[in-house]
């Protein structure tokens, strides 16, 4: 009986610790995916529109903005580049 109790306590501890470690890991994986998506989108825009002088810098801010907002974010960055730079 004592062994079953400690086994259940151990499983509960693993579930709690696993959940506590999974939440920040899930956030970091989502942020990495957004950065990768933004990099692909901005690289594509730079390749397609580079001939006409539209170059958007690849830095963490623009990558994250393009990754989170995706196509509207890239359009926003292109408009900001055209009007303010």
Q: Give the 3-state secondary structure percentages of the chain, helix then strand then coil, rounded to 5.
A: 90, 0, 10
Percentage of the chain beyond pLDDT 70 is 100
**Is the full-model pTM beyond 0.95?**
no
Instruction: Quick: pLDDT tens for 46-64.
Output: 999 989 888 898 898 898 8
10 Å Cβ neighbour count for 76? 13
pLDDT score recorded for residue 44: 92
CA distance 42 to 50: 11
Give the number of domains in the chain.
1
pLDDT of res. 47:
94
Mean pLDDT of 30-37: 90
Q: Is the dihedral of CA 24, 29, 34, 35 positive or negative?
A: positive
| Residue 83 to residues 12, 32, 42, 55, 72, Cα–Cα distance (Å) | 57, 30, 18, 13, 16
The residue range of the domain holding 80 is 2-84
What tens digit of pLDDT does each residue of 8-17 get?
888 888 888 8
């Amino acid at each position: 009986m004592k062994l079953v109790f400690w086994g259940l306590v151990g499983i509960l501890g693993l579930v709690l610790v696993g959940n506590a470690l999974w939440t920040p890991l899930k956030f970091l994986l989502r942020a990495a995916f957004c950065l990768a998506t933004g990099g692909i989108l901005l690289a594509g825009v730079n390749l397609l529109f580079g001939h006409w002088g539209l170059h958007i810098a690849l830095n963490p801010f623009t990558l994250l903005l393009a990754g989170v907002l995706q196509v509207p974010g890239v359009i926003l960055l292109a408009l900001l580049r055209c009007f303010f730079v």
